[in-house]
Amino acid sequence: FIAAWLAMPLIRVNLSLRGFQKTRSRWNPPRRPAASLNPDEIQQLAARVRSAAVNHLLELNCVPQSIWLSNRLARYGVDHELCL
């Protein structure tokens, strides 16, 4: 929650200055080997990211949330695709 709360405003600024593609590549870490996250844990992670965005002082739309969630999923080795 705290990491998402801190990172999403930085992602928002990056999006404004550099655009989506460069921001996405900047915040997209290399994928790790397959993780042991089950679907419930992935849902909890997504809920924490959403909660951090909703409880933030700044208005954060879905794009910073999606980029941060994509970052976390890649770090856990969860196969996913970010489509906007």
Profile the chain (84 residues) by mean pLDDT over runs of 10 residues.
Answer: 88 93 85 78 92 84 90 87 82
State pTM to two decimals. 0.81
Q: Residue 46 has what pLDDT?
A: 93
Question: Distance between CA 43 and CA 24 in Å, rounded?
Answer: 21
Q: Residue 17 has what pLDDT?
A: 95
Q: Residue 45 has what pLDDT?
A: 92
Cβ atoms of 31 and 58 closer than 8 Å: no
Question: Distance between CA 64 and CA 13 in Å, rounded?
Answer: 9
